[in-house]
Amino acid sequence: MSSIFGMSHNWTLIVWTLLAIAFLIVFIAKFKWNPFVTLLLSALILGFLTGMKPLDIVDSVTKGLGGTLGTIAIVIALGTMLGKMMAESGGAEQIATTLVNRFGEKRVHWAMMIVGFIVGIPVFFEVGVILLIPIIFTVARKTKMSLLQIGIPILAGLSTVHGLVPPHPAPMIAIDAYQANLGKTILYSLIVGIPTAIVAGPLFGKWIGKRIQVEPPAQLADQFSASSTRKLPGFGITLFTILLPVILMLVGSIATIIDPEATSGFTVFCEFIGHEVIALLIAVVFSFFSLGFSRGFTKEQVSKFTSECLAPTATIILIIGGGGAFKQVLINSGVGDAIAQIATSAHINIILFAWFVAALIRVATGSATVAMTTAAGIVAPVLALNPGANVELVVLATGAGSIVLSHVNDAGFWMVKEFFNMSVPQTLKSWTVMETLLSVVGLAIIMAISLFV
């Protein structure tokens, strides 16, 4: 009797969640309410509908907003400064010109996917977007191609790595929980990830780019796409500057893998400089010299660039924070647990089960990392009862499920929406479909591989 009541309660929570999400979409898309205000209202409505205490709702909202922005706000600020330095020095122009010349205008979107895949290996998705937005804007302007045809391949590369490829933190969570082999997981992740990124990136990007025409936000486009009249910096130094935070984060990841207990001072130092905030800070300071002073800019000009570029990011930061508040209410109201309990009661293939659990939690909470972490805890004991299962493929299935159907409760959704200057429906048709393609195509390839290994 209690189990029946529990299942009934779980489904009730899901119904309330769907109502809150419907309110959010309708008021932003149809009534054009401010997204930040609407996100906060949706979080409050969901909290009351699910029976949370009023002060607990407020606490969830403030902690969710603060927790989400704790790192992302710094990352956006530093990443925007780095982007501004690339734009003012002509660095973004140089990279865009070189890629277009090497690949040709008709194939440049394939180059974008490769860039996203490589840059995304050691960095969180949000960091990668911030680093690459100036290049997206500049390539789109130079080639006169659709912004989405250029941007979707980069987003696909970043997101594929985020969910599937070690040593990214998200798949490392599942590797540790399932006791999977790191080397095998990396091998399988490349076999699965590359074709998946191709389908959801260049192929889908070309298709959707013809159907949704958007222009970058005017202020960001001006500061990221404006190139100096002076001679462009060298391709090598520009590429090194933008890859410096990637290199530092990769060093930190490798040090953690080699010495997970951080027993040596050198490992601690590598982890420190490999943290996304420190890595970006180092890269920004380096850019002052490599793209600033060495290009003939004065200290007053560099200071002006890095101050004026922050104003357009204020709205983006608030909206991402609002998404974090909504996500936290979802978690604290018990919706995530409800999803997990419903999924656990289903008797399906372990690979499908891992994908399904991660996917449901991802849809409920909006966080790929939360989905991966929670799903790993649910799937691990079930996996222990299936000794014949390929553990590495279960890791990848969990990762694929954790990136499905990004929507209004995902900070990444709002980041992409704002940077690409799209409406909510346009973001759902492009970004959300791309994420779902990554997840479903990835699952299909994983299932196919499972027939042979």
* CA-closest candidate to residue 403, choices 157, 239, 226: 157
Tokens linked to 100? 């277009």
Extract the tokens encoding 123.
């960095």
pLDDT, tens digit, 9 for 90 and up, residues 78-113 = 877 887 887 788 787 787 778 778 887 778 888 888
Rounded average pLDDT over 237-252:
84
Note if the pTM is more than 0.75. Answer: no
Looking at this protein, which amino acid is placed at residue 437?
L
Region 180-186: mean pLDDT is 77
Distance CA 206, CA 162 (A): 22
Among the ranges 12-21, 32-41, 313-322, 425-434, which has the highest mean pLDDT value? 425-434
Amino acid at 345: S
Looking at residue 360, its pLDDT comes to 81
> Rounded to 5 degrees, what are φ and ψ at 267?
-65, -45
